[in-house]
Structure 1
């Protein structure tokens, strides 16, 4: 019993109450965010859209998501984290309810694009708020729990979505809207504004004023150390996207049924839900750059192994390897992203970081499909090689990142008192 208590403390102890309310809002939101998983099926089955038109509407949702990430970062730094989260959740709930009763395809396309914006807006605000309230020494476990909640919520959403879609598409959208409203209620009731203003020392103040004369996104987009990290994360995202874009095609070419693909995906989700909480203690003694190098290397080996895969057992074994890699990568990836951002631009840096995922969702299928068509199984050698290059890149980029983080911490140590924005 004592060992269990020690593990619980190491895994989830010492985190402020505000974090747990944010965590609960994220879990509720993800568990209820299932309607868009069936958007293409809804369009073709219930609204009579062609497959091409359905794909265009789903693409509009994705394009809205890319814009929403950037908008969410800017608003979270200007309005505040709480205001951005509430605006996004309340707006998304209203749009989802409207989508439930929309009949015209043009209106559905507009609503889908707007939902893409509002569904993506909370991501930088959530992470920025976590960084605001969680002490640096405990952020790794906080981000680990965030990753775990995200995957647990997605697993629940996948199970609920199938049941609701068979019963009623209208119910699917309305339950999604209700879950989003519930998450908004938790945030509105229990999460205060976490954005703070600093009164720094004169020299630091001059540097901050110089930064503020330029748009915040410009600062993030010209920060070389940060962009190297974003580029390496983009490679990791491209590897991750193989599971939902190219791997199903490869499995079909090997004569495996769609149910086999479902088993591989379910295995990855189960591993994350069952094992993610053990990750912080495992990686705590090691440098973040080393952990990211090992994790990216494992993902490279897992996907590279698909070069010789022709049976379900091989796919399952490879899935274990790349899933362990993604589990190890989640906490340090989020923490480095938080550490590299100046406090006054924290959410905008998050928004640039989160752009890697919609970008990867476009690049992975666009280039991967051509690669698989012309190279066959050698496609996986390219994927594995790309991952190994990124693994080496993390080792090389680690020391400059650490120096940059140390410099930012030194700047904050010379800052003056912290005051709440608006006072």
Structure 2
């Protein structure tokens, strides 16, 4: 009990509210969103390309408006943006439960992307706001761990309760977001926005100029974009690949087990792998994680049954544990203190990979099959590895120039 008390006091109370809310909402989200491709196919009979394009619209919207969403958080405050995002997400989940035509799915996918760009930059920037630099890696790791605690059982529960055939579980996701909304309203202080609150001196023009001219950030975004092309296949193209060699019910069950294994492995391996990543260093760990990703995607392409898919997912999971929390930490180090949410919002531009990936997968899969698709994805991901090193070199050079200027 003493250790728990020390742990709780070691971080700002808002950190624990975010961790708890993240765990709740991601559990119900993973009951529904991983099945979106099969759900849309069942209720609209759309083709693979149309489904991939529809799902990818969420990422395209996030990419297009990410910097704006983050900038709004820096201008008006974290709490305000989180409230707007969660109200919208409640409505979107209810909409998915009743969607029965392609056009409606496209609209809902765009709205899903908007909720992400309003919520994620504000949420992650807030964690950085209330956490000292030396503790941020641990905080982002805890947030990532919470996501995967929720995801560990979400797909299994979603598959069991018939998300693909009925979709009533979308109402559960809406309710979970409504509960988190209540927590944000009641427990988060109004001053949560750039630490002290909304900024009166904020300038959109200066923010856009600073972020878009940051070469270190742009190189990092290229690496993340290429990584996302590969990772996007796991929730969009993979279930369709499985359905080519299995009946739809079996494919949904196998996909749920494979996806849940990813989350369970993250929960079990997060702590030891985080220690290994810390010893490797921030940039080196991101490069290693992306290399492991590439190997995992190629292995997925050559998989044909449950156990081979589980092995490929295990490889991908190791890369995921190493790289994802480190990405958040790296963005927090790149960001100017008064533009934190803007930088996290700019990170959303890498979401273009989650649009290109499903769209590319939908085009390649019918003509060349899953093996060629996932092998190609692995190669694309591998191309992004050196960009992390180049990004860090630009960042170090920029920091040195600033220090030299200050010393003069």
Q: TM-score per shorter chain, which class? A: 0.7 to 0.9
> Kindly tell me: are residues 96 and 309 of structure 1, through their superposed partners in 2, closer, same or farther at Cα, counting changes over 3 Å?
closer
State the Cα deviation string for residues 263-321 of structure 1 (Å, max 9, x = none). Answer: 43232222112222333322223321111111111112222334654554443323222
Indicate the residue corresponding to 1:229 in structure 2. 220
CA–CA separation in structure 2 for the residues paired with 1:101 and 1:318: 35
Indicate the residue corresponding to 2:387 in structure 1. 393
CA–CA separation in structure 1 for the residues paired with 2:32 and 2:313: 27
Matches within 5 A, 1:371-410: 371=364, 373-374=367-368, 377-404=371-398
* Larger RCO (CA within 8 A; separation ≥ 6): 2
* Structure 1 unaligned spans of 5+: 199-208, 415-423
Give yes or no for contact 1:143–1:330 (8 Å, CA) kept in 2. Answer: no
Give yes or no for contact 1:11–1:281 (8 Å, CA) kept in 2. Answer: no
State the Cα deviation string for residues 137-176 of structure 1 (Å, max 9, x = none). Answer: 0111111111111222233443444455569968534432
Matches within 5 A, 1:88-237: 88-94=85-91, 96-97=93-94, 110=107, 113-162=110-159, 165=162, 172-192=169-189, 193-196=191-194, 212=203, 214-237=205-228
Alpha-carbon distance, 1:186 to partner: 1.3
Alpha-carbon distance, 1:220 to partner: 1.8
> Kindly tell me: are residues 54 and 233 of structure 1, through their superposed partners in 2, closer, same or farther at Cα, counting changes over 3 Å?
closer
CA–CA separation in structure 1 for the residues paired with 2:267 and 2:73: 29
**Equivalent of 1:51, from 38, 46, 50?**
46
Give yes or no for contact 2:44–2:101 (8 Å, CA) kept in 1. Answer: no
Alpha-carbon distance, 1:22 to partner: 1.9
Give yes or no for contact 2:55–2:355 (8 Å, CA) kept in 1. Answer: no
CA–CA separation in structure 2 for the residues paired with 1:371 and 1:108: 22
CA–CA separation in structure 2 for the residues paired with 1:167 and 1:283: 37
Give yes or no for contact 1:234–1:356 (8 Å, CA) kept in 2. Answer: yes
Does 1:363 pair with 2:356?
yes
Indicate the residue corresponding to 1:320 in structure 2. 314
Alpha-carbon distance, 1:18 to partner: 1.6
Give yes or no for contact 1:10–1:281 (8 Å, CA) kept in 2. Answer: no
Indicate the residue corresponding to 2:298 in structure 1. 304
| TM-score (normalizing by structure 2) | 0.79
Give yes or no for contact 1:299–1:325 (8 Å, CA) kept in 2. Answer: yes
* Structure 2 unaligned spans of 5+: none
| Root-mean-square deviation (Å) | 4.1
Does 1:270 pair with 2:267?
no
Alpha-carbon distance, 1:367 to partner: 2.7
SS at match of 1:134: coil
CA–CA separation in structure 2 for the residues paired with 1:376 and 1:54: 18
Give yes or no for contact 1:68–1:118 (8 Å, CA) kept in 2. Answer: no
| TM-score (normalizing by structure 1) | 0.77
Does 1:87 pair with 2:84?
yes
**Equivalent of 2:69, from 65, 69, 72?**
72
Indicate the residue corresponding to 2:26 in structure 1. 30
Alpha-carbon distance, 1:347 to partner: 1.1
Indicate the residue corresponding to 2:276 in structure 1. 282
> Kindly tell me: are residues 308 and 293 of structure 1, through their superposed partners in 2, closer, same or farther at Cα, counting changes over 3 Å?
same
SS at match of 2:139: helix
CA–CA separation in structure 2 for the residues paired with 1:159 and 1:254: 20
**Equivalent of 2:13, from 17, 20, 26?**
17
CA–CA separation in structure 2 for the residues paired with 1:174 and 1:310: 34
> Kindly tell me: are residues 86 and 375 of structure 1, through their superposed partners in 2, closer, same or farther at Cα, counting changes over 3 Å?
closer
Indicate the residue corresponding to 1:293 in structure 2. 287
CA–CA separation in structure 1 for the residues paired with 2:98 and 2:56: 21
- Number of corresponding residues: 395
Give yes or no for contact 1:283–1:328 (8 Å, CA) kept in 2. Answer: yes
Alpha-carbon distance, 1:106 to partner: 6.8
CA–CA separation in structure 2 for the residues paired with 1:390 and 1:379: 17
State the Cα deviation string for residues 332-360 of structure 1 (Å, max 9, x = none). Answer: 11111111111222112111212323x22
Alpha-carbon distance, 1:135 to partner: 0.5
Indicate the residue corresponding to 1:417 in structure 2. none
Alpha-carbon distance, 1:392 to partner: 3.2
